[in-house]
Structure 1
Amino acid sequence: MSNSNVETVTSSTDRIKLGLAVLVIVAGIVAYSMLEGQPTALRVGIFVGSLVLAAIIAWFSEPGRRTLSFGRDSYNEVKRVVWPTRKETTQMTGIVFAFVVVMGILLWVVDKALEWVIYGLLLGWK
């Protein structure tokens, strides 16, 4: 069996698994809607159970394993991030607000200048 044929079989199998996972989620949504008279905890439990079951089904596919690996790598990367201190965050927020105010004033001045040029000088309206 050639390598491309194996990839096709795996790909088809993965599509079936992912399709089944989507169907399980849809079934959970339908069950949530159909059980309208039942307690909310039961309805939510069935829906969350469908999400968990769909996640388990998807995990057994290659895209699911890649997604899990990506999540694990992302979590490890986040642990390495150096977060700003409270003082740095406050200072940067102040700078952003000041910039927004200055840009707002600048755009207002430009707008009024264009209004004066267009309506006052070109059209002769006062």
Structure 2
Amino acid sequence: MSEESDTSSSYTGGSPWPLFVALGLAISEVGVVLGLRPVSVAGLLLFVGSVTGILTESGYISRPTLAAGSQGLALIGIGIALIVQNQTGTTVRGQSIVIAGGLCLLGVLLWAGFVRTRTQETPSITESSEATSD
């Protein structure tokens, strides 16, 4: 009986990321089928963010911005390959993928700039070692 209580107290629950990975891909494909490019791009951005979340939560990466940026570059490469094929269904999908990859890279650059300015503005909270004696 004590073994059951030990295992149940250490269980923290499942990760929400796999649901969002599937939801991101499904939303992206619905956007392509219905011809709604913003929906397709939003689904791909949800997918990229979820994959980055899974990798961070599992401890495979320590810098999520690097993972999101590399996924953005991969999306741009895949999208360009689909656009170059110049077929009816792949052109719209390829354009959506390139837009999502570009927005992903833009988001990574904005986040890196935000973090850099925030760390430069934070004052140092160290006390001087000199003691004044009056």
Fold match, TM over 0.5? no
Q: Normalized against structure 1, the TM-score is what?
A: 0.32
Which structure: greater helix fraction? Answer: 1
Structure having greater relative contact order (Cα 8 Å, sep ≥ 6):
1
